[in-house]
Amino acid sequence: MKKLIITALLALCITPSKAQKFVRKYQDRVDQVSKDNIIANLKAFEKLGIKTTGSVENDNALQWIRQQYLSYGYTEDQLMADPFSIGKEKSSNLIITKKGTVYPDRYVIICGHFDSINGPGVNDNGSGTSIILEAARILKDIPTDYSIKFIHFSGEEQGLYGSRHYVNEVAYTRKQRNLDIKMVFNIDEVGGKKGMFNDTVFCDEDQGGNSKNNTASAQVTRELMKCTALYSPLKTEIDPAEDSDYISFEKKGEVITGFFEYLRSDLPHTKDDTFANTDVMYVYNIGKATLGALQHFAGADHH
């Protein structure tokens, strides 16, 4: 009898989740993604200059992001700074928490870095920053089953310092897990290059590192691909997850996925990573895919 129960439980565990279907309410919110807002965010990000971790420009960018959330109606108690140091340089991550209605203590994390090197970083990663802001604006008053943490990391360009600090000092304390994380959805460098035919986006799948989370990552990455097809005009390809902030979570065994541009621009980390060289329509379309996917992952109200 025990063997039969175990077999039944195993069957339940490996049964795939019910097929994703188009949700009209999700589309209605995806339709609220504003190209004008994306443009305004990218231009404002560019004006803030070279956001090297520890610089005045980096701190100004953090304060600008913070003010955006307050303008959307998020409250001070939903915003948390997470300060850290790289040698003598000081910086901070910014975490915004939107509580879920069914599983308030289980979190979907959507994240991206806002620091840059050698240039204003409009693609890398003003693009991801702008999309996260737009998703947060639209979902501000939408109930979700799971809590959402919108996280803006600093220190990524120097070696994932900000996300590593957050994971090791906030999400975990030594080996103790302080946050019940459902999944991590990272958006980094999704601006493409103006003039290229940007009709495809990479969906990042965990294919290395801590192998115990690879299967779960493959599942959520396929769900991300499906959401992209449902809610945007973009095509998708799978890319191995690497060299961005989700890796700090992956090392702790968390489930990760993310977006990255398919045709890789050669301008990030240069003075030419500017608004003029970024494909705004590509950012806009990835914004649509992001909002569709985030609603799916967090269980947004669809009644």
Q: Decide if 253 is inside a domain.
A: yes
Please state, in angstroms and rounded to a whole number, the distance separating the CA atoms of residues 230 and 186.
Answer: 20
Q: Decide if 259 is inside a domain.
A: yes
Collapsed DSSP state (helix, strand, coil) of residue 19: coil
Residues 132, 136, 140: CA angle, nearest 5 degrees: 175
Q: Decide if 79 is inside a domain.
A: yes
Asked if residue 210 has pLDDT above 50, the reply is yes
How much of the chain is helix, strand and coil, in % rounded to 5? 45, 25, 35
Structural domain range at position 108:
20-298
Q: What is the DSSP letter of 212?
A: G
Contact status, residue 244 vs residue 161, Cβ threshold 8 Å = no
Q: For residue range 98-145, list pLDDT tens digits in order.
A: 999 999 999 999 999 999 999 999 999 999 999 999 999 999 999 999
pTM higher than 0.85: yes
**Which CATH number do you get for residue 231?**
3.40.630.10
Count of domains forming the chain: 1
Sign, Cα dihedral of 53, 54, 58, 63: positive
Sign, Cα dihedral of 25, 190, 160, 214: positive
**Which pLDDT score is estimated for 118?**
97
Listed residue (253, 215, 248, 206) closest to 112, CA to CA = 248
Q: Decide if 11 is inside a domain.
A: no
Q: Decide if 105 is inside a domain.
A: yes
Give the rounded percent of residues in the chain with a pLDDT score beyond 90: 90
Please state, in angstroms and rounded to a whole number, the distance separating the CA atoms of residues 289 and 283.
Answer: 10
Please state, in angstroms and rounded to a whole number, the distance separating the CA atoms of residues 299 and 142.
Answer: 10
Mean pLDDT check: name the lowest of 15-24, 32-41, 77-86, 156-165.
15-24
Instruction: pLDDT band for 19, please (50, 70, 90 cuts).
Output: low
Q: Decide if 15 is inside a domain.
A: no
Contact status, residue 299 vs residue 145, Cβ threshold 8 Å = yes
Q: For residue range 216-271, list pLDDT tens digits in order.
A: 999 999 999 999 999 999 999 999 999 999 999 999 999 999 999 999 999 999 99
DSSP-assigned states of every residue in 122-182? IIIIIIHHHHHHHHHHHHTT--BSEEEEEEEESS-TTTSHHHHHHIIIIIEETTEE-SEEE
Q: Decide if 14 is inside a domain.
A: no
**Which pLDDT score is estimated for 2?**
33
Asked if residue 4 has pLDDT above 70, the reply is no
Q: Decide if 168 is inside a domain.
A: yes
- Residue listed under structure tokens 């120097």: 158
**Which pLDDT score is estimated for 8?**
38
